[in-house]
Amino acid sequence: DVKVTQSSRYLVKRTGEKVFLECVQDMDHENMFWYRQDPGLGLRLIYFSYDVKMKEKGDIPEGYSVSREKKERFSLILESASTNQTSMYLCASRLTDTQYFGPGTRLTVL
């Protein structure tokens, strides 16, 4: 079974803090993705990576950056957290067509 893990299920941060969300997959997948999911807006792609050290902007990259130093790990960074970044963050990894999601991190920015 594919396993995608995320570092935290729940996280509470203060405005202006730097926030790191970690994602690890154990299936040697090339492609990894970060989404945020908000009520009424569905899943929105923030960034994705198709190889180590490679990254591409998704639909809503503003206020975020990413890092992929190793194939199994894809990190999402909020440089200076703001209240409008309160959301559910979902990491996914993919080989060919099948995409698997991690359990999600519910981030609250106060």
Cβ closest to another protein, residue 41 vs residue 79: 41
DSSP state of 83: G
For residue 65, how many other CB atoms are within 10 A of its CB?
13
Q: Does 42 bind another protein (CB under 8 A)?
A: yes
Q: Does 103 bind another protein (CB under 8 A)?
A: yes
**Residues 6+ positions from 13 with CB-CB distance below 8 Å:** 19, 78, 81, 107, 108, 109, 110
Cβ closest to another protein, residue 56 vs residue 79: 56
Q: Does 32 bind another protein (CB under 8 A)?
A: no
Residues within the interface to another protein (CB under 8 A): 31, 33, 40-43, 45, 48, 50, 56, 58, 90, 94, 97-104
